[in-house]
Structure 1
Amino acid sequence: MTGTIRDRVIRIVAEQAVLDVEDVKGSQTLEDLGIDSLGLVESIFAIEEEFDIQVPFNANEPEKSDFDISSVDAIVKAVEDLVKDQHG
């Protein structure tokens, strides 16, 4: 799959939210986009598959995880960090 990490994460989030990619803004939360807890889990599975990474199992507990899901921008940064850590 081509595109930057940011583009690919936003595409996954947009698919979960049933929105056009252009409608997903970095400052938005998953809740803003109408993504519930099941949608979050599906988004994480899609991100793991897309980037061949392992997201921490406690990503939905921000106080216990380094994987920040507080906004689209935070998710992009967390994925960038995991890709760097797990793929050198």
Structure 2
Amino acid sequence: MSIQDKVIAIIADQAVLEPSDVTMDSTLEDLGIDSLGLVESIFAIEEEFDISIPFNANDPGASDFDISSVAAIVAGIEKLMAESKELSGRGT
């Protein structure tokens, strides 16, 4: 399962929708995900991908992590995973 498919599955679960109802262009608002659902989605994504998302639940707009659409979330996760892989590949 790709990163995109996993993110869509997590977001669909939070929105109580079928994954086929979630597109890359969907916004969380379009899907009916409120702030609590957003936080739960972020936690689920962090757990699924073993990453830490720089996200401020009190001020999502102040975060470097773009949550404007499903595509933006997927891109952010891919970037974090690449950075994590790069850091773990370096010797200490």
TM-score computed with the length of structure 1 as normaliser: 0.90
RMSD: 1.3
Q: Retained in 1: the 8 A contact 2:55–2:65?
A: no
Using the aligned pairs only, state the percent identity. 64
Larger helix percent:
2
Q: By how many angstroms is 1:28 displaced?
A: 1.0
The partner residue of 2:13 within 6, 15, 18 is 15
Aligned residue in 1 for 2:25 = 27
Which residue of 1 is the match for residue 35 of structure 2? Answer: 37
Moved over 4 A (4+): none
* Counterpart Cα distance in 1 of 2:60 and 2:35: 12
In the alignment, the residues of structure 1 paired with residue 54 and residue 13 of structure 2 have an alpha-carbon distance, to the nearest angstrom, of 22
Give distance in 2, aligned partners of 1:56 and 1:80: 14
Deviations 1:20-64 (A, max 9, x none): 0000011111010000000000000000000000001326523x3
**What is residue 60 of structure 2 aligned with on the other side?**
61
Q: Equivalences for 1:63-78 in 2 at 5 Å?
A: 64-78=62-76
Please tell me the residue identity of whatever aligns with 2:34. D
Where does the alignment leave 5 or more consecutive residues of structure 1 unmatched?
Answer: none
Matches of 2:8 and 2:65 in 1, distance apart? Answer: 16
Structure 2 unaligned blocks of 5 or more: 87-92
| 1:86 shift after superposition | 1.3
- What amino acid sits opposite 2:85 in the alignment? H
Aligned length: 85
